Chain A
Amino acid sequence: MDISVKLGMLKLKNPIMTASGTFGYGLEFKPYGRLEDLGAVVVKGLSLEPRQGNPMPRIVETPCGMLNAIGLQNIGVEAFLKEKLGLLPWKTTPVIVNLYGQTREDFARLADILSREQGVAALEVNISCPNVREGGIQFGQDPVQAARVTEVVKKSAGSKPVIIKLSPNVSDVTVIARAVESAGADAISLINTLGGMAVDIYTRKPCLANKFGGLSGPAIKPVALKMVHEVCKKVSLPVIGLGGISSARDVLEFILVGASAVQVGTATFTRPDRVFSLVSEVEKLAMELGLDSWNDFQGTLKN
């Protein structure tokens, strides 16, 4: 079976993408697999200037998951373009850059810089990070703000497709999804991490220096699946599903509820080659199910 997928203007060899924040700048994983085999590589969220992120401790393990409060540490857009992008196989695999700004102007400026880069296939706009004080989730929890950010990024992004990454930390994610669709988004990815907390009864302190963090991993998969399902029913944009995907079966579940593609995040930490092995596992499972094409399967969940 041909497992390639179309994501608006983007054609992917397969529906498996990496999730921003869990795959570094891609190069970290070169010893463990062929980046060329992935549907797309989504790199660590970039800001205009380098960011140091939050104090330690920044991560803590929870049952079937983890909390992180990294705080978007990154080398900044210029250093990424100069030192990393050229080493990625962008000619054969779409490289999608996740971007983060504290203001709408930051988002516009980043989109403008990235719009001129041949090696950047699309932009993923992070309006859903729970771990930073300014920007991030404040844009993603209000439909008006989410739409405005989408508009300014679209205006500056030129011909690059714009994917808006949504937060689950809202009362109705479909409202935000429809707002960014109306504002011109080309695709939607969801979910980012769920707000969470872990505490230590011996020290009587929170486990994270930031007190709260974002929950990811298999623990959040049912939440993600529900939200992807709801959003797919309400918008006509391509939807990229993510949240706790760790097996081929998980991938097909997200496609069944309507996703066009998926991103693999925390599972990358269970083995550094996990995302690579998923590609062949998905192909094998699709064949086992007797599928001829994704069209026969995508969004065909029965009531």
Chain B
Amino acid sequence: MKQLNNHESRTCVRTMVRMVTPAGSDGFISLYLDLPEWDYTPGQFVMIRPENWDNDPVWPRPFSICEVNRNGLRLFIQVVGRGTRLISRLTPGSRVDLWGPLGNGFKFDPDDRLLILAGGMGIAPFIGLCKNHPHPEKVSLLFGHRVGIECYPLDELPQGMDKQYARQEGQSDLVLFQEMLEKRIQEFSGLGRILACGPTPLLRVVSSLSLKYKAETYVSLENKMACGVGACLGCVARTSDQGYVQTCTHGPVFRADRIVWEV
């Protein structure tokens, strides 16, 4: 895990699927790809497009880099639509177009205390971050999830890390989770950086609580993307200082207080 600056060169390669492993239950997979010659910053993402897609689907799909390990580049993926379903059916040896690392990623000092707030698939960029962090005792995680905990690779996280998990099965759980978020953000404000990734409603709440308690918070936005390189302008987010900016190149990580959340 190396921290890159935003302008280091990216590559586009045709690479090979090494392994596809299911996690927990149907619909969650880890996809391992042959590793190109690059390093990454946690929070950066890649675009992938299987060779056999031909003209349909047209777009590639963006995924956070989960980690890079001896099995290659790992992407943690949940099947949510046609594209991810086709990706989940890839087999070792399938060829995939891959470009990245893209976006800015989470910048932090290894000595910073970190509070990670993740919801569902928002855990993906934090797996490698936590596993490779030199001081896991300085990292805390609050993880909210709707499906079973066994679907997520949380058992891989370091022992010394402070972890708290909360499942939301109904409206009352959501209220409880929001209370947990508020307590953690309030307590953590001023102690270090908060990093958040997950569904937009979660990030909106995290943002508003961070403003309330003046916490230094960075959120990684999820967005539909066509190109991933800043050209199509299809993935913009509204910011208070620059108006609409591309999530893929100006983000996906933004300071929470810069985002103007649209209804």
Contact = CB atoms under 8 A, between A and B. Distances in A.
Given A24-B230, A58-B233, A68-B232, A73 B58 contact: no
A273 B227 CA distance: 11
Nearest to B228: A272
B229 interface: yes
A31 B9 contact: yes
A73 B59 contact: no
B262 interface: yes
A201 to B, nearest CB: 14
Contact of B233 (A29, A31, A53): A53
Interface in A4-60: 21-24, 28-29, 31-32, 44, 52-53, 55-60
B97 interface: yes
Contacts of B237: 56
B58 A61 contact: yes
Nearest to B11: A31
Interface in A240-280: 246, 266, 268-273
A28 B58 contact: no
A101 interface: no
A45 to B, nearest CB: 11
A32 B98 CA distance: 12
Interface in A61-75: 61, 63-66, 68, 70, 73
Contacts of A21: 232
B100 to A, nearest CB: 10
A59 B226 contact: yes
A136 interface: no
A271 B49 contact: yes
A119 interface: no
A271 B56 CA distance: 14
Interface in B50-89: 55-60
A58 B237 CA distance: 11
Contacts of B59: 61, 66, 269-270
B60 A270 contact: yes
Given A23-B231, A70-B234, A269-B58, A55 B11 contact: no
Interface size class on chain B is 20 to 34
Nearest to A265: B232
Contacts of B224: 57, 59-61
A149 to B, nearest CB: 24
A272 B229 contact: yes
B12 interface: yes
B160 interface: no
Interface in B194-231: 224, 226-231
Interface string A63-95: 111101010010000000000000000000000
Contacts of A55: 262
Given A56-B262, A61-B57, A29 B234 contact: no
B244 interface: yes
B236 interface: yes
A59 B232 contact: yes
Q: Which of B12, B99, B231, B249 has the most CB of A within 10 A?
A: B231
A59 B59 CA distance: 11
B233 A32 contact: no
A45 B57 CA distance: 26
B243 interface: yes
Q: Main SS of the interface on chain B?
A: loop
B12 A273 contact: yes
Given A22-B231, A53-B236, A56-B262, A269 B55 contact: no
A147 to B, nearest CB: 31
A218 interface: yes
A28 B180 CA distance: 41
A130 interface: no
Contacts of B229: 24, 28-29, 32, 272
A28 B229 CA distance: 6
Contact of B234 (A32, A44, A68): A68
B10 interface: yes
Contacts of A268: 227, 231
A295 B56 CA distance: 34
A246 B244 CA distance: 29
Contact of B231 (A28, A56, A60, A217): A28
A58 B236 contact: yes
Given A63-B56, A269-B227, A32 B243 contact: no
A23 B249 CA distance: 14
B99 A246 contact: no
Given A28-B230, A59-B226, A269-B226, A73 B60 contact: no
A55 B230 CA distance: 17
Nearest to A32: B12
A114 B114 CA distance: 50
Given A22-B232, A66-B226, A270-B49, 9 more contacts: A24-B230, A32-B229, A53-B233, A56-B238, A66-B59, A70-B232, A246-B55, A269-B232, A270-B59
Interface of A: 21-24, 28-29, 31-32, 44, 52-53, 55-61, 63-66, 68, 70, 73, 217-218, 246, 266, 268-273
